[in-house]
Structure 1
Amino acid sequence: MKKILVFASALLLTISAEAQIKRPQPQPGPMPTVHVQKPQEFTMKNGLKVMVVEDHKLPRVSYMLTIDTPPYVEGAKAGVSSLTSAVVGNGTAKTSKEKFNDEIDFLGASVNFWNTGASASGLSKYSSRLLELMAEGSLSPLFSQEEFDKSKQQAIEGLKSDEKSVSSVASRVTNALLFGTNHPTGEFITEQSLNNVTLADVKQNYASYFVPENAYLVVVGDVKFKDVKKQVEKLFKNWKKASAPVSKYPEPVNVAKTQIDFVDMPNAVQSEIALVNTVNLKLTDKDYFAALIANQILGGGGEGRLFLNLREAHGWTYGAYSSLGSGKYTSKFTSSASVRNVVTDSAVVEFVNELQKIRTQPVTQAELDLAKAKYIGNFVMETQKPGTIASFALRTKTQSLPADFYENYIKNIQAVTIADVQRVANTYFKKDNQRIVIVGKGADVAGTLDRLGYPVNYYDRYANPVEKPVFKKAAPAGVTSKSVIENHIKAIGGEKKLSEVKSVSTIAKGSMQGMEITMTQKQTAKGQMMASLNGMGMELMKQVITPTMGYMSGQGQKQELKGEELKEAQASAKLFDELEDLKNAATFELSGIETFNGEEAYVLKKDKETVYYSVASGLKIAASETMEAQGQTVEMTTSYKDYKEVKGIKLPHTFTMPMLGGAEFKVSEIKINEGVTDADFK
């Protein structure tokens, strides 16, 4: 069956850049002075703490309700809090979801809810009503079975899509290994844990953790303190005083010696590399400001050392960065990048070199000045936003900051010295106690990692330790690219049967972000192909290819295919590309046997195309194509399974659509030699 290549060109973006004009650099002006307005405060009997910042410059107001709940472990029901977030806010005990949302739209406002808080913003003339709506949605949510079931299904679909995402797997495994799966940051959601969650669990989660003990309401805008106080006391007085449960879990510990933790993902065209260690950096620590600057110099942006090394000097990646967490709870330091498979080992070496350099050699004065300027500039701009003022007020309370913490922010940044940067780099960038987590294609990468001199451990996609896999082995004597393709053709019905097919019509159904999608594809032996995606009662996208023309359409626009783009599309519009591949079998390289989705497969490669054929059944189980998009190499992999016979020919009835985030589609109807006319390709 023809591999699905619908709308591939829609993913390729053109990147342009304007020529830079050299101008004299302006002389720095005086250091800005920042005044952060202090809130007026009061505390209700139930424990709710309210902070009001009057700001009458604009006729707007924002409310932010935050419940400062300590992290907790969800265990076998991991995902209950995220489902609570998804369900809360869909109507209240007093008002239907539709009526509630209609009023918000009428007010031109924004009101949002989640498992640990709520927010509202809009014109100050509607301030009273906005607070009423936020209070009603927060304290009287309607937990309906219908919304719960829909949210759970969307979450499960998201997990299935993430299973094919190298970056998603890398993030999950990194946190699980660094913190442990019995830690709030390290545990992860699975389909099984979601299925363990019931609506009753969501209600209990809300009742247990949505409590006023550690709740803060920050109000910023064109309001008066006395009016807000009066309304808050009225709306929140019946919020029953209660304390949230306290979860106990082990404190994570860094490894005694740096090691490589590798996860094999055969569909990875790039390796996700992350060098990580835990940190306990509080905003009140004397190292805090120096640590910010050290991270900025190492990998805080395009001017960081990691970026300049891995991207600018070597061209291995689209970007390389570092981040340093801080706050009340244990966080992490990370330096990371996505690099081409063939340079994975070299990239690791450069990461380690940069970490060693900033720990052992003083940074330059120019680097220090640039990092300070960027931090100060960003800080000054952020202080102009009401949301920033609210977050400052909240953070000052929840993290016990000095009252003048943000007034002295610029002064403390300016006080950081070169020696400070080197000192904190040695404290928080633990070159000798890091996990180097790599998620990539083992057949291309694993053989090079042993040369780096670190212990190499292997894990599956769920952070479970595994024995070192056999990533690739040679094909048996006598097996060739031609024999592999011949076996596939024989397995699906034979060359004679395929040659008798004049047309194929396929209808398949899947979902993306909760939206049901129907894919219709029609092809003929004359080189005609039509594919369309429909959802929400409308045609989302369509592609038509014939021997004389081709186009794509969607959202009221139509794009004609021309030149090489049209030729490539016409070449891919073969009814059974297996027959064409058989004619050109000599152009494929049989690179050996690899494991793909748990099944051994012969791997055939040609140019930017790779095809996987099951060793056991002979059937094609996947095909991938490498392309360039936004300056990065992207591999689009389509997998096939659930082959069923239709008029003597076996065709896959389940496949993935890489261009829709790896969404899985199930075939509901296949017709051979019927249901297709020339009118379908107009």
Structure 2
Amino acid sequence: MKKYIIFSLLSFFMTVSYAQIDRSKQPKPGPAPKINLKEPVRFELNNGLKVMVVENHKLPRVSMQLTLDNPPILQGDKAGVSDLTSSLLGKGSKSIPKDDFYEEVDFLGANINIGDQSAFASCLSKYFPRILELMADAALNPNFTQEEFDKEKDKLITGIKSEEKDVSAIANRVQLALAYGKNHPYGEMTTEETVNNVSLQDVEQYYRNNFVPANAYLVVLGDVELDKVKELVTTYFTPWSKATPPSFSYTKPTDAQYTQINFVDMPNAVQSEVSVQNITNLKMKDEDYLDALLANRILGGGSQARLFKNLREDKGYTYGSYSSIRDNKYSLMRFSAFAQVRNAVTDSSVVQILEEIDKMVNEPVTDEELKNAKAKYSGSFVMALEKPETIANYALNIETEDLPKDFYKTYLERIEAVTITDVQKAAQKHLSTDNIRIVVTGKGSEVLENLEKVEFKGKAVPTLFYDVYATKTEKPDYEADAPEGITVEAILEKYIAAIGGKEKLEGVSSYAMLAEAEMQGMKLELEMKKTTKDQFMQDVKVMGNSMQKQVLDGDKGYMVAQGQRKDLSPEEVTRIKEESAAFPELNYLSAGNITLEGVEPVSGKKAYKLKITDKKSSFYDMETGLKLQEVNTEEVQGQQMMNTLEYSDYKEVSGIKFPFKLSQTMGPQNFEFIVKEIKVNEGVSASDFE
């Protein structure tokens, strides 16, 4: 009976309790949780190095992060010296050769990276004393040698050359140069010329001037004891001579005088790079810092943001459109909204991005948008707390950005407290639609006509023209007609005569070519063989290993890619036959379907454009007659991709001129092949096409 009464009472209370809960309404969120971050213990050496130690004994690991909080460094006519300094640091020290240094670090299962303004190391806690010693030795006593300098300089120049036709790389450097000015550290350009100005002595001087302890912070995090850290740091870093970095004066970034389009012509572009940008002044310690981050998140912070939904999901102009706002205590910075869009919709994309920014400034965001943005930031913040390097960065930010000690402890509370009004005020302060700079890098012959018709707020947006180095230039002339009387046959005959004459070319039954290129520090080899019997072999090797091979022997053939062989389809056989001709212009003379499209600039020269097929065009120098470029349009994974091959540095072999420099660009990839050997009527056998 007693049990029955008890069960009845429980049932009654549960029923009453359930009845008082309205399940149709979402529960109200509780207060934002407090974040408990362990406070680092601080001490300072006499030379100015500030050290922070955070003990965490959960795992037997330690990380060390050295940061030089120096103002931006202007490199001037020796731009590239910082890159070279970074690449030479961390290769041993004056007391430990590079190979021995690498071997010991690997043996201990550790990691050490050193840059021109930083150093980082991580290891098991039992190896902490030795790894700290190695990091300090390599950072403070670098072994700069002429041999290593020459290697790294060659790599840097090779990288610069590989970006000569890279639309994204050029777009990025022009956007920065126009935003900050070329006499600002964030806008100056590293070129082959500036790198060639740098000597080993310049690297040594740059290091002595800027790798100094005045603004240096060392954060040690992990399974360590404070007293031991203090002892080791004092031992290994006290020899670091006390010094302060030099001060620089440079141009102050400013917005454009009026809203304008800055256009950079890239004839090989298959899509346009669009960046709508303005200058802003945002620091982490500002009261509206989090407001600005949330405004940017709502506008262009991911797949749930307005730009993405508009340009991708609604319009289908791009695979993604985003925005970014940057903070910096030393300099004014750049807000930008950007996208890579199809040529045909470049002008429409510009208008849509401008309208989304304008809407962000002039209209309040919705409750749902703000709620989602807060959730995203809060989630990212909590997830980041699991990483030890995050704690180190937070401790460093509090020191270097002059933040309140509880900046991160109250982070979630302050995120939650941001209102719709706060977001709109931040957008009005940091985003602009009045003096905004729209930088478009793309194929002018396809996009410029409509781009020059763009209007915003009822006014035409003027277009100014810049070259790939952000220097003002004239509008490209895409309407140039070929001189009267010039025919396809005349252009082809001039080319044939320029390289040796019809009789010489018809006397060639085969030729073999060997060329080399650099790819991320590795050697890329290209071997090609052709005959007049519809035989063709092309083999691309990386470090001596075949990566891609095509073979054609009459009406059959195959291709091999990464070890997988595939027979050529009839369509592929036909296409490769067209490419396999030793001198295809001999065949073009009788083709009858080739048309003269006009005159276009190619590498600073005026060239006749011949349309060979719907997917292929060739360009011939108006002055010399030599072929300058071929452009093929291919479909790759449903996307139109332009493959550009430039010819230069013609040299004579067996009475015929061949290009000894082949620059190939496909999408973001750019390879510069230097021909090492060409053999005419020798070096080719039937076995090459088996």
Task: Please report the TM-score for the alignment, with normalisation by the length of structure 2.
Answer: 0.91
User: Is the counterpart of residue 673 in structure 1 residue 685 in structure 2?
Assistant: no
Partner of 2:259: 258
* CA displacement 1:383-423 (0-9 Å, x = unmatched): 11011111111111100111111111111221222222222
- Give, in angstroms, the shift of residue 28 of structure 1: 9.6
User: Is the counterpart of residue 551 in structure 1 residue 559 in structure 2?
Assistant: yes
Partner of 1:101: 102
CA distance in 2, matches of 1:590, 1:120: 61
Partner of 2:18: none
Asked whether the equivalents of residues 317 and 632 of structure 1 are also in contact (C-alpha less than 8 Å), the reply is no
- In the TM superposition, what are the counterparts of 1:508-519 in structure 2 within 5 Å? 508-519=515-526
* CA displacement 1:1-31 (0-9 Å, x = unmatched): xxxxxxxxxxxxxxxxxxxxxxxxx999865
- Give, in angstroms, the shift of residue 281 of structure 1: 0.5
Partner of 1:121: 122
* CA displacement 1:190-218 (0-9 Å, x = unmatched): 11111111111111111111111111111
Asked whether the equivalents of residues 526 and 541 of structure 2 are also in contact (C-alpha less than 8 Å), the reply is yes
CA distance in 1, matches of 2:288, 2:596: 56
* Cα distance, 1:303–1:88 mapped onto 2, change above 3 Å: same
* Cα distance, 1:584–1:416 mapped onto 2, change above 3 Å: farther
- In the TM superposition, what are the counterparts of 1:525-540 in structure 2 within 5 Å? 525-540=532-547
Choose the corresponding residue for 2:633, options 626, 629, 649.
626
Partner of 2:206: 205
- In the TM superposition, what are the counterparts of 1:29-428 in structure 2 within 5 Å? 33-329=34-330, 330-428=332-430
Partner of 2:10: none
Consecutive unaligned residues of structure 2, counting only runs of 5 or more, are: 1-25, 455-459
CA distance in 2, matches of 1:92, 1:464: 42
Asked whether the equivalents of residues 55 and 223 of structure 1 are also in contact (C-alpha less than 8 Å), the reply is yes
Secondary structure, in 3 states, of the residue corresponding to 1:472? coil
- Give, in angstroms, the shift of residue 512 of structure 1: 2.4
Choose the corresponding residue for 1:657, options 658, 664, 679.
664
Moved more, 643-652 or 348-357: 643-652
Moved more, 27-36 or 405-414: 27-36
- Give, in angstroms, the shift of residue 282 of structure 1: 0.8
- In the TM superposition, what are the counterparts of 1:438-449 in structure 2 within 5 Å? 438-449=440-451
Choose the corresponding residue for 1:484, options 491, 496, 513.
491
CA distance in 2, matches of 1:529, 1:404: 70
* CA displacement 1:416-468 (0-9 Å, x = unmatched): 22222222111111111111111112222223232121222111111111222
- Give, in angstroms, the shift of residue 565 of structure 1: 7.1
- Give, in angstroms, the shift of residue 539 of structure 1: 4.2
User: Is the counterpart of residue 604 in structure 1 residue 610 in structure 2?
Assistant: yes
Supply the AA of the counterpart residue of 1:679.
S
CA distance in 2, matches of 1:553, 1:464: 42
Supply the AA of the counterpart residue of 1:467.
E
Alignment root-mean-square deviation, CA: 2.1
- Give, in angstroms, the shift of residue 499 of structure 1: 3.6
CA distance in 1, matches of 2:570, 2:394: 55
How many residue pairs get matched?
654
* Cα distance, 1:539–1:99 mapped onto 2, change above 3 Å: farther
Supply the AA of the counterpart residue of 2:267.
P
Asked whether the equivalents of residues 326 and 335 of structure 2 are also in contact (C-alpha less than 8 Å), the reply is yes
Asked whether the equivalents of residues 472 and 595 of structure 1 are also in contact (C-alpha less than 8 Å), the reply is no
Supply the AA of the counterpart residue of 2:393.
S
* Cα distance, 1:559–1:417 mapped onto 2, change above 3 Å: farther
Supply the AA of the counterpart residue of 1:677.
S
Task: Please report the TM-score for the alignment, with normalisation by the length of structure 1.
Answer: 0.92
Choose the corresponding residue for 1:593, options 599, 605, 609.
599
- Give, in angstroms, the shift of residue 582 of structure 1: 3.7
Greater RCO, 1 or 2 (C-alpha within 8 Å, sep 6+): 1
CA distance in 2, matches of 1:495, 1:439: 41
Structure of higher CA gyration radius:
2
* Cα distance, 1:99–1:565 mapped onto 2, change above 3 Å: farther
CA distance in 2, matches of 1:62, 1:187: 33
CA distance in 2, matches of 1:260, 1:505: 48
Supply the AA of the counterpart residue of 2:534.
G
Identity percentage of aligned residues: 47
* Cα distance, 1:28–1:650 mapped onto 2, change above 3 Å: farther
Secondary structure, in 3 states, of the residue corresponding to 2:350? helix
* Cα distance, 1:47–1:641 mapped onto 2, change above 3 Å: same
Asked whether the equivalents of residues 33 and 413 of structure 2 are also in contact (C-alpha less than 8 Å), the reply is no
Partner of 2:566: 560
CA distance in 2, matches of 1:33, 1:526: 78
CA distance in 1, matches of 2:29, 2:591: 68
* CA displacement 1:618-640 (0-9 Å, x = unmatched): 22211122234466543221100
- Give, in angstroms, the shift of residue 109 of structure 1: 1.3
- Give, in angstroms, the shift of residue 482 of structure 1: 4.6
* Cα distance, 1:382–1:648 mapped onto 2, change above 3 Å: same
* Cα distance, 1:481–1:381 mapped onto 2, change above 3 Å: farther
Consecutive unaligned residues of structure 1, counting only runs of 5 or more, are: 1-25
